[in-house]
Structure 1
């Protein structure tokens, strides 16, 4: 099964945004890892070839940081 191609520059930009916005690099790293781990177990039966859990966690967290209305309501 092929994984979707992720543009490296976009991924690095999002990672840098997360790290720069965080007060503690270790804490944001642990938060990304925990979200990825949680998503991995949530999606065990839903294996449709999406991004790997850590990539999905990075994209989700950077989106939430940039667009807080996503998680509102």
Structure 2
């Protein structure tokens, strides 16, 4: 994972969260998906802490928005 998530500002997080919720059919399902991804990331990357200020749930939201808005990154 690159360091592009390290300099995320609060207003960007809010915007990205709204973008993710707008793209979702069901807010509850997307919330559960974000929580599960954050939990998985927290334990997978336990030794690789790029920036302790970017919490796993924030990183999960940003990754999921990127996957929705830039589907070509999933293939990499």
Secondary structure in 2 aligned to 1:45? coil
CA shift for structure 1 position 9: 1.2
Matched residue pairs, number?
70
Q: Kindly name which structure, 1 or 2, has the bigger radius of gyration based on alpha carbons.
A: 1
Q: Aligned equivalents of 2:49 and 2:9: distance in 1?
A: 22
**Structure 2 portions without partners, runs of 5+:** 1-5
**Cα RMSD after superposing both structures:** 1.5
CA shift for structure 1 position 6: 3.2
| 1:28 correspondence with 2:30 | yes
Moved over 3 A (4+): none
TM-score (structure 1 length as normaliser)? 0.85
Q: Aligned equivalents of 1:57 and 1:45: distance in 2?
A: 17
TM-score (structure 2 length as normaliser)? 0.82
